[in-house]
């Protein structure tokens, strides 16, 4: 199967390639400290992309895009992946939080929060998961109640965990329970909580793969007052916002897995006959993932959406990447555990976790089988919606 594009898509690609050739940063040396930490060069790079409509090409021009169709967005992602580079080092801020504000926020919220996040003037984190509510968002316990005074502010108490970049973020898009008596899915609201608000405490902790990688956070809210104008979407309508937020993330999630798998096939060279046999299996996985992804892409270009097939792609992509990295790690023997090692050419525009030791790269693949819907959840969706099995 070969995916080909019309003249408009190839012209779009050529324009983006020319932009990259002319504007790639030459002063990129400071590594971000988390996924909400933007060094000065990264802020300038993101702002340059925004000002030229190349930050999120599918957005309208006022939000850093050029109303690109899905095939144009695809080749945009492909060209970034070929260079192993990212358009923003605050991916949740740009891809989920700003996108949610564009869809569900007021004009004032878009001007105050979304555009500054897109321009790299602010960074944002996503406050969904809790100690008792990981994949099951409906079980969250962080509470927000209206204050008794005339302002009607929300007062928030509770805890979030796994909140990427929270200690560097300026604001957290926070999912809270506002009606404890409503059914679990119907009593949730969404608040923009500035991280400098009194009562907000952020406590970063290390990744399992790297003690120096402090991206995850516990976030504690103690009587935090949040202005009522920071409510995103309708009161108790947070479930719809959540589905929209994750929809922004999942739209081309399979492509990121395919890109990481291609990178691994480039970085890992098999030596023994057994390693070459396993490598051939990885190549077949990569081709299969691209072929199925291209089918979904073609459907989307026609206006069709196959949500169940996206689950197949997410499941296959995350687990194929994990299996591939395990093969590479095992092939290295004890050398694969050496840290801090570099397993691909250094590129300041790439996240360092994608070029660390083989052990580092392997452990990080487990996030892919959890974030965005666990493998178990994806299997349930496939069983019920694709195979027609009972619940």
Hey, what are 340's tokens? 């801090």
Are 318 and 369 within 8 A, CB to CB?
A: yes
**Residue 75 region by backbone torsions, left for phi larger than 0, else alpha for psi between -120 and 50, else beta:** alpha
Contacts of 22 (CB under 8 A, 6+ apart): none
Q: How far apart are CA 260 and CA 263, in angstroms?
A: 5
Q: How far apart are CA 358 and CA 71, in angstroms?
A: 33
Q: How far apart are CA 160 and CA 112, in angstroms?
A: 24
Q: How far apart are CA 187 and CA 237, in angstroms?
A: 7
Q: How far apart are CA 14 and CA 292, in angstroms?
A: 26
Q: How far apart are CA 307 and CA 298, in angstroms?
A: 14
Hey, what are 185's tokens? 């899915």
Q: How far apart are CA 349 and CA 279, in angstroms?
A: 28
Listed as own residue / partner, the contacts of 53-56 with beta carbons closer than 8 Å and 24 or more positions apart are: 54/16, 54/19, 54/87, 55/87, 55/88, 55/94, 55/118, 56/87, 56/94, 56/95, 56/98, 56/99, 56/118
Q: How far apart are CA 42 and CA 87, in angstroms?
A: 9
**Residue 227 region by backbone torsions, left for phi larger than 0, else alpha for psi between -120 and 50, else beta:** beta
231 phi/psi in degrees, rounded to 5: -75, 125
- Length in residues, the chain: 391
Q: Is the peptide bond before 311 cis (omega within 30 degrees of 0)?
A: no
Are 337 and 359 within 8 A, CB to CB?
A: yes
Active site residue 275: no
234 phi/psi in degrees, rounded to 5: -75, 155
Q: How far apart are CA 86 and CA 89, in angstroms?
A: 7
Hey, what are 68's tokens? 């690109």
Which of 11, 249, 275, 335 is the catalytic position? Answer: 249
Are 231 and 242 within 8 A, CB to CB?
A: no
Active site amino acids:
249
């Amino acid at each position: 199967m070969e995916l080909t594009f019309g003249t408009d898509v190839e012209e779009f690609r050529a324009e983006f390639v020319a932009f990259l050739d002319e504007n790639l940063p030459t002063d990129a040396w400071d590594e971000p400290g988390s996924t909400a930490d933007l060094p000065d060069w990264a802020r300038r790079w993101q702002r340059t992309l925004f000002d030229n409509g190349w930050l999120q090409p599918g957005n309208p021009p006022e939000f850093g895009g050029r109303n690109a169709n899905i095939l144009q967005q695809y080749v945009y992602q492909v060209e970034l992946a070929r260079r192993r580079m990212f358009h923003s080092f605050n991916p949740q801020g740009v891809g989920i939080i700003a996108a949610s504000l564009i869809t569900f926020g007021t004009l004032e919220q878009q001007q105050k929060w979304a555009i500054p996040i897109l321009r790299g003037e602010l960074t944002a984190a996503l406050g969904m998961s809790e100690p008792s509510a990981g994949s099951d968002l409906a079980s969250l316990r962080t509470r927000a109640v209206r204050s008794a005074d005339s302002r009607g502010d929300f007062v928030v108490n509770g805890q979030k965990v796994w909140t990427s970049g929270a200690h560097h973020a300026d604001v957290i898009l926070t999912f809270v329970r506002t009606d404890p008596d409503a059914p679990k899915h119907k009593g949730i609201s969404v608040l923009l909580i500035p991280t400098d608000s009194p009562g907000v405490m952020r406590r970063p902790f290390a990744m399992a793969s790297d003690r120096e990688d402090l991206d995850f956070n516990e976030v504690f809210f103690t009587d935090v007052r949040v202005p009522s104008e920071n409510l995103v979407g309708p009161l108790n309508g947070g479930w719809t916002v959540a589905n929209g937020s994750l929809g922004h993330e999942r739209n081309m999630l399979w492509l990121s897995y395919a890109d990481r798998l291609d990178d691994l096939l480039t970085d890992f060279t098999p030596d023994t006959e057994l390693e070459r046999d396993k490598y051939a299996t990885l190549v077949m996985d990569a081709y299969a993932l691209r072929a199925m992804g291209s089918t979904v892409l073609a459907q989307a270009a026609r206006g069709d959406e196959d949500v169940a097939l996206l689950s197949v792609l997410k499941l296959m992509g995350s687990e194929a990447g994990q299996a591939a990295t395990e093969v590479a790690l095992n092939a290295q023997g004890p050398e694969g555990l050496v840290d801090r090692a570099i397993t691909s050419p250094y590129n300041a525009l790439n996240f360092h976790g994608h070029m660390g030791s083989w052990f580092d790269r392997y452990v990080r693949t487990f996030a892919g089988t959890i974030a965005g819907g666990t493998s178990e959840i994806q299997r349930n969706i496939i069983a019920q919606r694709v195979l027609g099995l009972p619940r």
